[in-house]
Amino acid sequence: MKLYDAPVAPNPRRVRWVMAEKGIADVEVIPVSIPDGEHKTAGYLAKAGLPQLPMLEMDDGTTITESLAICRYLESLYPEPNLFGRDPKETAIIEMWTRRAEMLIATPFMLGVRLSHPGFAALEAPAPEVGAWNQQAGLKALKVLDRRLGESAFIAADRLTIADIVAAIGIDFARIVRLRPPEELTHLNRWLTAMRERPGAKA
């Protein structure tokens, strides 16, 4: 299999982190330059259908975009360590927290960066007011995670899951515009420090 990857982008990083946690070493990683528009070339679009990264290409030529779909597929091939749930109840809880992490935190922070940082102006028309609104929405939602992490070492289960990976990468991406969780969110900051110390965080 081949993973088409963009090193700086947050969504491909989710897949790399999952691969690192699972020790997956037999997937070829192919870098794609977003600044150079390589994700918009005819050859790439013929495979992916949309100018999106990451993309996983299977041995039979089937391709998957959408980072969580790729991660779930890799989970089915490499089931340990489990990141998506071991039974119906746990799977539903992890799905719930993953969606919260994505919709409340990762997406607002990603939009907050893309629409406000000058480095992205060549890729997307700046919209500073929209970017600022999203940044504040993401910061506000961090309180939800802080409350949850006051009860549990991890977000969705008694171990690392995909929900933790999605949330941590979203928060990390916001550092591009110098956004960091407020110091008073002690549970969140404890968890975030632990997440950044994991080998997968450096993948």
In the chain, the domains with their CATH numbers are 2-77 (3.40.30.10), 88-202 (1.20.1050.10)
Average pLDDT over residues 158-170: 98
Q: 3-state DSSP call for residue 120?
A: helix
pLDDT tens digits, residue range 60-111? 999 999 999 999 999 999 999 999 999 999 999 999 999 999 999 999 999 9
Q: 3-state DSSP call for residue 140?
A: helix
CB atoms within 10 A of CB 58: 11
Q: Chain-wide mean pLDDT for the chain?
A: 95
Per-residue DSSP letter, 63: E
* Residue 126 pLDDT: 87
CB atoms within 10 A of CB 21: 21
Strand order in the sheet with 2-5: 28-31, 2-5, 55-57, 63-65
pLDDT for 121 beyond 80: no
